[in-house]
Amino acid sequence: MCGIVGLFLKDKSLEPKLGAMLSEMLVSLSDRGPDSAGIAIYGAPSGNEAKITIQSAKPDRDFRDLDTQLAKALGVPVSIAVKSTHAVVRTRPDKIDEAREAIQALRPDIRIMGAGDVVEIYKEVGLPEAVVDRFDVRKMTGTHGIGHTRMATESAVTTMGAHPFSTGADQCLVHNGSLSNHNNVRRELIREGMSFETENDTEVAAAYLSSQMAHGKNLGEALEGTLSDLDGFFTFVVGTKNGFGVVRDPIACKPAVMAETDQYVAFGSEYRALTKLPGIDNARVWEPEPATVYFWEH
């Protein structure tokens, strides 16, 4: 099973409601996956700041004084906003890679969920309702976002095994299905220099897309590549800094439904995820074709 949602806003007036809309969509699919849930939200770019979302099982210990220690290590201002087990570190965009290394050096137990100019990622074990409440996702604003509720089939039920998986700046991916050649693809990507946090098949798909885009492909072209290079069942929904994409494998037995209006493009594993969106009764609703890439960019 697993449930996926995605929402890409075209109408700026909906941006303050992105977190609330996406949360509603994800909660409606709770019974597709009780193991963990996660959400990635793309906020408005702040201009001269980049973000790293970090996670710790011991937030009281790991997040305390991290901002001052990081600021000292990097020599630039750093801020931290803590939300439960997660925190968002903000600093200068040119210091992001250095900040990642400094975080790992200062706090070895911290896990990095994702980084980029705009993305924030929150994911934990538990039902969507608990996860969105815990991180106050309903209050978040943004331009687009993706979410996932997991029924674990390929790897352990852990925070790191939850989706979305982020393997590149402002890139992340959610997946319904299972890949059969992920070990091989992982080995090839490791040879290219990529590193992996989990044994999860979805992390491989995310890293595959990052690798393709690092080689100069755009999101659409990278998604085309999944059709020949990844084997297994998949419906992928991906986000980039300004883009939103969907692809299903050629057999397409994992469910998917999309809706588009002048205000948004929405994706759900099931139609019921879309029923509370504004204007859904007059939206163009369709089932994405197998082996067909759909993507939108701002």
Partner 1 sequence: MTATSKATRDQAHARVFDLDAMSLRELNQALHGLAPGSNETAWEVLNPKGNHSVAVGVDQPVSIDVRGSVGYYCGGMNSGGTITVHGSAGPGVGENMMSGSITVKGDASQYAGATGKGGLLVIEGNASSRCGISMKGIDIVVHGNIGHMSAFMAQSGNLVVLGDAGDALGDSIYEARLFVRGKVDSLGADCIAKEMRPEHLELLQGLLDRAGVTGVKPSEFKRYGSARTLYNFNIDNADAY
Which residues of this chain interact with partner 1, rule CB under 8 A?
A: 252-253, 255, 257, 270-275, 285-287, 289-290
Which residue in the list 1, 2, 20, 161 is annotated as catalytic?
2
DSSP 132: H
* Cis amide bond preceding 288, omega within 30: no
Q: How far apart are the first and last CA of the chain?
A: 31
- Residue 130 CB, shortest distance to partner 1, in Å, is 23
Residues pairing with 276 in the sheet: none
The closest alpha carbon to 147, from 237, 241, 224, 39, belongs to 39
Name the minimum Å distance from CB 270 to partner 1.
Answer: 6
Exposed, middle or buried: residue 49 (CB in 10 Å: 0-12, 13-18, 19+)?
middle
Question: Do 246 and 155 form a contact (C-beta atoms < 8 A)?
Answer: no
Q: What is the CA radius of gyration of the chain?
A: 18
| Residue 172 known to be catalytic | no
H or E segment at 67? helix 66-74
121 vs 273, which CB is nearer to partner 1? 273
Nearer to partner 1, 130 or 285 (CB): 285
Is 23 or 240 the residue whose CB approaches partner 1 more closely? 23
Closest CA to 54 of 78, 85, 95, 94: 85
Minimum CB separation of residue 292 from partner 1 in Å reads 12
For residue 288, the minimal CB distance to partner 1 (Å) is 10
Measured from the CB atom, is 81 or 257 closer to partner 1?
257
Q: Output the six-digit token pair for 164.
A: 């979305």
**Residues annotated as catalytic (active site), given as ranges:** 2
